[in-house]
Chains A and B, each alone.
Chain A
Amino acid sequence: MSVDKNMRILVVDDFATMRKVIKNLLKQSGYNNIVEAEDGAEALKVLKSVKVEFVISDWNMPNMNGLEFLEAVRADPELSGLSFLMVTAEALQENVVLAVKAGVSDYIVKPFTAEILNEKIEKILKKS
């Protein structure tokens, strides 16, 4: 089964440059349908307004962090099955367990290459 490169991916990070970095990496793997949000709260609004197939979210954000956002997604019956990839930094690995327990699809540690990102995406989508 091949992955639909046209699926809509939501990239959530408060640092605009970081969003751009991730977007560039996604584009290198052929994903072009990307929407962005600055934090969890904004991301939830995006999810409510357009159909998104895949979420890539940072952990550490103001207002609503990645974990809270993940929990909100999992608690929402309409969104609970959404593929959710959490981006973490090595200093925050202890948080990974929290995210795993909260139902994250997978996590990825900064920095990463386009290939690794693509592998993660394909792996997650294959399972679901």
Chain B
Amino acid sequence: MEDHDALMILINNLASDFLFIDGKEIDVPTAGKFLNTLDGLIKEADSQKMPQLKGVANGLSFLLEKIVLNGVEDKEAGFDALEKGITLMQEIGESIKNTGSYEGDIDTLAESIATLTGEQLLKDTAEVPREEPQPPEMAEMADASLVRDFIVEGLEYIDEIEVNILNLEQDTENKEYINIIFRPFHSIKGVASFLNLDQIRELAHSLETLLDRARNDELQVTPGLIDVILDGADVLKAMIIQLRDDLEGNPAQPLEVDLPALRKRIQGIEEGRTDIQGIKKVGEILVEDGTVTEEALEEGLKIAGEAVPPKRIGEALIAEGKATPKQVSQALRKQANQTADTSAVRVDVRKLDDLIDMVGELVIAQSIIRQNQIVQSNGDSQLAKSIVQLSSITSEIQKTSTSLRMIPIKQTFQRMSRLVRDLSKATGKSIGIVMEGEDTEIDRNMVDEIYNPLVHMIRNAVDHGIGTPEERIKQGKPERGTIQLSAYHRGGNIVIEISDDGKGLDKDRILKKALENGVVDGSHTLSDQDIYRLIFHPGLSTAKEITDVSGRGVGMDVVKQSVEKLRGKIEIDSVPGEGSTFITRFPLTMAIINGMIVRVGNEKYIIPTVSIRQLLRPEQKLCNMVAGKGETINVMGNLMPLVRLYDLLHIQPEHEHPWEAVTVVIEGENGAKCVLVDEIIGEEEVVIKSLGEGLKGIRGVSGGAIMGDGSVGLIMDPEGLFELSEM
């Protein structure tokens, strides 16, 4: 009974709240309160098995929603029905409390609600009527500057759609991606409706509806849907550009779009038709090519159908002498090309990663066989030939499988362009962005990794590189600054350049600061490059010059670190007064590393090739003990500390003297050091393997790799090694 009392309290509260309503109109906040109470009532009535009460509460809730949505014409009657409903609920409650049941009539109320709302009450989640939008007074609204803003922002939004649809294509289940694409269409539609741009509004609306339905799982994200969205976005773009031409008084280009066809496609997708354009039959292709006549084709089809066992049309035509095997095979190839566009397969990225991993293993296994002693000493030329073939196939497989995970860098660049726009707004500078090589491909897994360093460099370019419009005009430069992003492949790396046409680096200031902070001691003459490189030094952090833009306190040292963490490299080119270019090189993939295999005693280690500056065997007279600095080697005039790898790793070396062993000059954060090893075995691409949880975080070692001969080598981490050597 206690539960029942709670229910009665809910109903009575509703009734007393209702008494306080002024006039016969319910405002939105009150309706909200009522709706929430009704929700509670429905739940309670359901759990206490009171179907009549639940039914009435449901009906009232439905009626209220309709009233709020202006779906009830006769407001007064709606109000009366609500009042009746609440009284009815009180009756039902009382009756059940006293007699255990209610025998009265609830249908009258249900009917009046149905009449008021024009819909059957039984439906739990009824469709909400679409309100006809009232056209606003356009004379006031269609202000040219608004239209101009709309054009600029609208075009940007469409670019965004294009970028994000790629994400959706890779992960069709991800609702967030649908949302991201939905939003720009939605915004475009909203503004277009105010500006009376009916064509744009209508198209944006229908595309938005598609996405909305996909979001609600009413439609599947198929390649067809993605194509229609992309094509729709193209058309929207064309419409907006047309609008721009119109506004600028340029002769408006006629819209070369088959709008009705697009509408039809959108409709088709909405109705759930997988409307992939029919693939032409071989026969049709042969007729089109003029190889056979239509009559001959029909005859051929008849013969092919009647033959036992049934023949294919191509076979039949050949048998009849109507077409040559060559013509048929050409037609077949044409048919295959037709399907090529639609035969893309979506694959889970994890599966791809697994595949690439396994291919890595395959490469190793193949190389173990090749280097096997018995195989090597075997004189069988057939075996040798097969092994060569095996390695070439394996390397093809490796190349192809790696390329599966490659995506264009476009997306990253587009994000940058948005960033530049935002930053230029924030700093009051006028900056344009130029992109080059957006189609350059990069491992999908690298994309997120390179994002942060690129952002920092862009921030830097905007903040320190490009001056204010006034400054630029004074220097005789165009008011609008430019940042150029370019990408290209070079030697197994992707190179990304960020150039600005700003002030360029101030050599003197950097040097002065470096001297002040003791980063350099002034004893050497430094090349321009050396000076530029100083900005990556942590001691030269530009933290003092915090601004709104790069005010997050990120210095170039952090950028360098994050680039190097990805086994990348960064260089600077700068011309005072003309601008700077930051050139970053990243490996195309993080799964494979180019390593120099070195031997110390009986152990093999891998040193990442990117960090090696040079290899040398110094003369004895160049090796010194310097007080306070330990052992050093004079490398072309620079004294570099010597690190004896065997000491750090506690191994018995073959050679102890640098002039007998080999010295590897390795670049580190704070200058280069000479690392002593016994022998350089060679350079090899190795597949990186994690060492597992237990061995994670060992200083000086960044991972392991299985090498060509099947032995395991540790991949050295130069920074960690240097730290070890300084302990």
A interface, CB within 8 angstroms of B:
13-18, 20-21, 24, 28, 58, 60-62, 89-91, 93-94, 96-97, 100-107, 109-114, 116, 123, 127
Contacts and interface: CB of A to CB of B under 8 A. Distances in A.
Given A28-B140, A93-B128, A96-B68, A110 B36 contact: no
B202 to A, nearest CB: 12
A17 B145 CA distance: 10
B643 to A, nearest CB: 49
24 contacts: A15-B190, A15-B191, A18-B187, A18-B190, A18-B194, A24-B143, A24-B146, A28-B140, A60-B182, A60-B186, A90-B130, A91-B186, A91-B209, A93-B129, A93-B131, A96-B128, A100-B35, A103-B29, A104-B32, A106-B27, A111-B136, A111-B190, A116-B134, A127-B27
Interface in B180-215: 180, 182-183, 186-191, 193-195, 205, 208-209, 212
A101 B39 contact: yes
Contacts of A15: 153, 157, 187-188, 190-191
Contacts of B140: 28, 114
Nearest to A102: B32
A16 B209 contact: no
Nearest to B149: A17
B146 A97 contact: no
B146 A17 contact: yes
A28 B131 CA distance: 25
Contacts of A90: 130-131, 133
A101 B36 contact: yes
- Chain A CB within 10 Å, residue with most, of B141, B154, B182: B141
Given A17-B150, A89-B190, A106-B27, 20 more contacts: A15-B157, A17-B146, A18-B191, A58-B190, A60-B182, A61-B183, A90-B130, A91-B186, A93-B128, A96-B69, A96-B128, A100-B65, A101-B32, A101-B39, A104-B28, A105-B29, A107-B28, A111-B133, A113-B134, A127-B29
Is chain B's interface secondary structure helix, strand, loop, or mixed overall? helix
B620 to A, nearest CB: 66
Interface in B7-53: 27-29, 31-32, 35-36, 39
Given A21-B191, A60-B183, A62-B180, A113 B146 contact: no
A110 B182 CA distance: 17
B135 interface: yes
Interface in B367-381: none
A110 B132 CA distance: 10
B186 A21 contact: no
Q: A-B pairs with the 9 shortest C-beta distances? A: A15-B187, A111-B193, A100-B32, A17-B149, A113-B136, A106-B28, A17-B150, A111-B194, A93-B128
B318 to A, nearest CB: 56
Contact of B136 (A20, A58, A93, A112): A112
B137 interface: yes
A97 B32 CA distance: 8
A123 B193 CA distance: 24
B68 A97 contact: yes
Contacts of B130: 90, 93
A16 B131 contact: no
Contact of A94 (B31, B128, B135): B128
Contacts of A24: 141, 143, 146
Interface of B: 27-29, 31-32, 35-36, 39, 65, 68-69, 128-131, 133-137, 140-141, 143, 146, 149-150, 153-154, 157, 180, 182-183, 186-191, 193-195, 205, 208-209, 212
Nearest to A62: B183
A101 B40 CA distance: 12
B194 A21 contact: yes
Nearest to A128: B29
Nearest to B25: A123
Given A20-B146, A61-B183, A93-B69, A110 B193 contact: yes
Nearest to B145: A20
Contact of B186 (A28, A89, A96, A114): A89
A110 B35 contact: no
A100 B131 contact: no
B27 A21 contact: no
A28 to B, nearest CB: 7
A57 B136 CA distance: 19
Contacts of B65: 97, 100
A103 B29 CA distance: 6
A111 B132 CA distance: 10
A26 to B, nearest CB: 13
Given A18-B191, A28-B140, A109-B133, A97 B28 contact: no
A4 B509 CA distance: 56
B128 to A, nearest CB: 5
B190 A97 contact: no
A36 to B, nearest CB: 13
Contacts of A107: 28
- Chain A CB within 10 Å, residue with most, of B39, B154, B186: B186
Contacts of B141: 21, 24
Nearest to B32: A100
A91 B208 contact: yes
Nearest to B68: A100
A101 B35 contact: yes
B531 to A, nearest CB: 41
A123 B23 CA distance: 14
A89 B143 contact: no
Contacts of B129: 93
Nearest to B180: A62
A94 B154 CA distance: 26
Nearest to A85: B28
A17 B208 CA distance: 19
Contact of B134 (A102, A105, A112): A112
Given A60-B182, A89-B186, A90-B133, A110 B29 contact: no
A125 B193 CA distance: 27
A103 to B, nearest CB: 5
Nearest to A95: B128
A127 B28 CA distance: 10
A110 B133 contact: yes
B212 A111 contact: no
A93 B133 CA distance: 12
A58 to B, nearest CB: 8
Contacts of A94: 128
A103 B212 CA distance: 24
Contacts of A18: 187, 190-191, 194
Nearest to B192: A111
A111 to B, nearest CB: 4
A66 to B, nearest CB: 12
A78 B35 CA distance: 24
